[in-house]
Amino acid sequence: MLNVEHLKFRYAKASEPTLHDVTFSIDKGEVFGLLGPSGAGKSTTQRILMRQLRGYDGKVQMFGQNITDLDRTFYDRIGVSFELPALYQRLTARENLQLFSALYSGATMPVNECLALVDLEEDADKRVESFSKGMKMRLNLCRALLHDPEFLFLDEPTTGQDPARARITRDLILRLKAQGKTIFLTTHNMAEADEICDQVAFLHNGRIPLIGSPADLKHRFGKRTLEVTTASAQPNQIYEFAMQDIGRNQEFLELMHNDDILSLHTKEASLDDVFIKVVNQ
């Protein structure tokens, strides 16, 4: 679906390139997370993929063609939700979507159906200027889905949303994936990337030093141990066991008969840990 090879980019007047040598690919129906600290080059990468920046070196193919060979109907096949709400403040949610529907040459979804996807039907006739940031972000996402695109660019889609709303948004992303949509997610929220991405790439200083599935990366950067916390002493006692042959570890087996067990945790790294290690390397 998307194939990026040896992508390099330098802004005019910049002394250093923003992207040095970026290579990755995304299959159809995959959720791909591009993670990295601020200034790493995430937005630049996204802008190149969305054909907003030219003058790059390397190969970028989308839908089986070089993106430079695609005409403007390319934008009927992609949907973009920006990090900042890009909406008409004085118009209502419905009027905003009607306006953006008019900007696509292809078919679009009925506005009510689209608003229902992000649970904004009841707010359809309220002006956007009265919306909270979370509501604006949901409408932003809604706008990106309006023309039922095959490929979605989502930049921090849950920003400004409370945990319950963020859960609804993440569920929607997973539903879109189940429908076969391909999703390119840029986020600082490692827990979110861990939950919804099939593959994540860490972008740092214009390079991708690490790429893989969240589960794989967490195992690679974590310890293969199990942590057991019991309430048999004050303060709570913590035991750590190597996962190797744990089923034959007498101390562990005896502990498993203990009624005071409070928790059992495998000690794989979180994506936060992986992120910090990548950034500090």
Given a contact cutoff of 8 angstroms between Cβ atoms, the answer to whether 162 and 88 are in contact is no
Taking the least distance from each CB to other proteins, the nearer of 103 and 256 is 103
Which is nearest to 61 in space by CA: 27, 91, 87?
Answer: 27
- CA 120: distance to chain centroid? 22
Task: Using DSSP, state whether 89 is helix, strand or coil.
Answer: coil
Taking the least distance from each CB to other proteins, the nearer of 148 and 273 is 148
Least CB distance to other proteins at residue 57 (A):
18
Least CB distance to other proteins at residue 199 (A):
23
Taking the least distance from each CB to other proteins, the nearer of 109 and 168 is 109
For residue 200, the cross-strand partners are 33, 212
- Residues of this chain that interact with other proteins (CB under 8 A) are 50, 52, 72-76, 78, 80, 82, 84-91, 95, 98-110, 113, 127, 143, 147-148, 179
Given a contact cutoff of 8 angstroms between Cβ atoms, the answer to whether 147 and 178 are in contact is no
Taking the least distance from each CB to other proteins, the nearer of 95 and 198 is 95
Given a contact cutoff of 8 angstroms between Cβ atoms, the answer to whether 133 and 85 are in contact is yes
Distance CA 275, CA 124 (A): 39
Read off the amino acid at residue 199. Answer: Q
Angle at 152 between CA 198 and CA 42, to 5 degrees: 75
Read off the amino acid at residue 94. Answer: R
Instruction: Return the C-alpha torsion angle 261, 263, 268, 270, nearest 10.
Output: -160
Taking the least distance from each CB to other proteins, the nearer of 73 and 266 is 73
Given a contact cutoff of 8 angstroms between Cβ atoms, the answer to whether 205 and 213 are in contact is no
Taking the least distance from each CB to other proteins, the nearer of 162 and 171 is 171
